[in-house]
Amino acid sequence: MFDLNYSLNGSESFQSGLDRSVSLRRQITYQAMRVFSGWGYSEMQIPLIDQFDIYERSVKEEVDDAIRFVARDGKVMMLLSDVTPAIARLVSFKLGKKNLPLRTSYANKVFRTAKNTKNSIESYHLGLELIGVSGLFGELEVFLVALEVLEKLGVDDFQFNVSDYGIVHYLLNATGAPKRIREEVLEAIIARDAAEVNFILNRLGIREHFIAAVSALANLEGGLHQLNQIQAALPNDKQLAERLEAMRTLFRVLSELGYKKRIRLDLAALDGVNYYTGIAFDIVSENLGRSIGRGGRYDALLGKFGNSQPAVGFSLIAGTISEILHPKFDEELVRDTGPKIEPISISSNDLIDGFSEALVRRSYNKSVSISEMT
Question: Residue 92 and residue 77: Cα distance in Å, rounded?
Answer: 21
Confidence band, pLDDT 50/70/90 cuts, at residue 49: very high
Please check the confidence at residue 301 and state whether its pLDDT lies above 60. yes
Domains of the chain by range and CATH? 26-156+290-334 (3.30.930.10), 159-285 (3.30.930.10), 336-374 (no CATH)
Q: 32-41, 275-284, 360-369: which range is least confident on average?
A: 360-369
Angle between helices 351-363 and 135-153 (to 10 degrees): 30
Within a 13 Å sphere around the CA of 113, how many CA atoms are in the beta-carbon half? 13
Please check the confidence at residue 10 and state whether its pLDDT lies above 60. no
The DSSP element (H or E) to which 214 belongs, if any, is helix 208-216
Decide which of 7 and 242 is more confident. 242
Please check the confidence at residue 334 and state whether its pLDDT lies above 50. no
pLDDT at 34: 96
What percentage of residues in the chain have a pLDDT greater than 90?
73
Confidence band, pLDDT 50/70/90 cuts, at residue 280: very high
pLDDT single digits (tens) 319-333: 999 988 864 443 433
Confirm if 106 and 126 have CB atoms less than 8 A apart.
Answer: yes
Please check the confidence at residue 287 and state whether its pLDDT lies above 90. no
Please check the confidence at residue 240 and state whether its pLDDT lies above 90. yes
